[in-house]
Amino acid sequence: MQIYLPIAEISVNAFLLLGLGGLVGVLSGMFGVGGGFLMTPLLFFIGIPPAVAVATEANQIVASSFSGVLAHLRRKTVDLKMGVILQVGGLLGAALGVVVFNYLRGLGQVDLLVKLCYVVFLGIVGGLMFVESLNAIRKLRKSGGTPPKKRRQRTWVHTLPFKMRFRTSGLYISVIPPILVGMAVGVLAAIMGVGGGFIMVPAMIYILGMPTKVVVGTSLFQIILVTAFTTMLHATTNFTVDIVLAVLLLIGGVIGAQIGTRIGVRMKAEQLRILLAVMVLAVCGKLALDLLLQPSELYSLGAAGGH
């Protein structure tokens, strides 16, 4: 069934969009990532204009994250206090990111920036997670199935002032690192048109030292506000949010997210992480190839004078 999208101004298959939404929704629920880093390139492939894809994706992430967070709230795997602090940083970062984005758009280098950001961050994050979870699994095997002792490392994170107790995460740390993490993710979210979960999740685990079970729910919680903010920015400045596209994606997405959350609970944290790492690396590899290989069409068309 073909459906015409009013803002994107093209006609696409409705079931294809529902399917894509569902697939990404499952991943979103499993890993606590918004799924934007997968969905946005997929939308490019089916011919949605990049500006519309990025803006609409932000809107869709709101829905799938909200659906996911409700499931996590019931299971009490959301650190609300930490989430709010991350959000504060996230909003600051998103505003900053939009300024950078608009500046580079003027130079005609936004595509490059977005792709480079993807390659660099997906590469680093994916690589680190992959190695780390492999090691964790190996250790688990050696020690005969008993989980390794959690060492409370005292790093620079624990020496900063303004300490706060995060009961759900079992942490007593300064609020500065979470705000900085939130901000960094906010900047990237605005530039890359994603929720930023794939950076947030590892940052929470490795920098803040939060337990994996809480990380997913908290990340989703933080993503909601940042992507809602991004959606509003795009809708009011670029007019590129396509509601029809968003509805189709999010119908698939919210259902997928529910399924994904249930799959995620049954899986071991290490397996979850290694799967996410493999996926992140795959997307990274594809984008890197696009930059390195000679494109079949050297020219590209863009609307003049912003819009």
Question: Is 159 among the residues that bind other proteins (CB under 8 A)?
Answer: no
The two tokens of residue 167 are 């009961």
| One character per residue 19-58, x = contact with other proteins (rule: CB under 8 A) | ----------------------------x-----------
Query: Which of 42, 53, 231, 283 forms a contact with other proteins (CB under 8 A)?
Result: 231
Query: Based on CB atoms, which residue is closest to other proteins, 153 or 294?
Result: 294
Question: Is 296 among the residues that bind other proteins (CB under 8 A)?
Answer: no
- Number of neighbours of residue 41 by Cβ within 10 angstroms: 17
Q: How far is CA 237 from the centre of its chain?
A: 23
Question: Is 300 among the residues that bind other proteins (CB under 8 A)?
Answer: yes
Q: Judge residue 292's burial from the number of C-beta atoms within 10 Å of its C-beta, 0-12 exposed, 13-18 middle, 19 or more buried.
A: exposed
CB 40 within 8 A of CB 195: no
Contact positions with other proteins (CB under 8 A) in 54-113:
59-60, 62-68, 70-71, 74, 108-109, 111-112
Query: Which one-letter amino acid corresponds to residue 103?
Result: Y
Q: Measured between alpha carbons, how far is 192 from 199 in angstroms, rounded to an integer?
A: 12
Cβ partners under 8 Å of residue 293, min gap 6: none
Question: Is 151 among the residues that bind other proteins (CB under 8 A)?
Answer: no
CB of 259 to other proteins, least distance (A): 8
Query: Which of 251, 272, 276, 277 forms a contact with other proteins (CB under 8 A)?
Result: 251
Q: Which helix (H) or strand (E) holds 5?
A: strand 2-5
- Number of neighbours of residue 70 by Cβ within 10 angstroms: 16
Q: Measured between alpha carbons, how far is 290 from 286 in angstroms, rounded to an integer?
A: 6
Query: Based on CB atoms, which residue is closest to other proteins, 111 or 138?
Result: 111
Cβ partners under 8 Å of residue 290, min gap 6: 115
The footprint of other proteins on this chain (CB under 8 A) covers a number of residues equal to 60
Question: Is 239 among the residues that bind other proteins (CB under 8 A)?
Answer: yes
Q: Point out which span in 31-39, 186-194, 224-232, 271-279 binds other proteins (CB under 8 A).
A: 224-232
Q: Which helix (H) or strand (E) holds 246?
A: helix 243-266
Question: Is 9 among the residues that bind other proteins (CB under 8 A)?
Answer: yes
- Tell me which residues touch other proteins (CB under 8 A): 1-4, 6-7, 9-11, 47, 59-60, 62-68, 70-71, 74, 108-109, 111-112, 228, 231-232, 234-237, 239, 241, 243-244, 246-247, 250-251, 254-255, 257-258, 290-295, 297-305
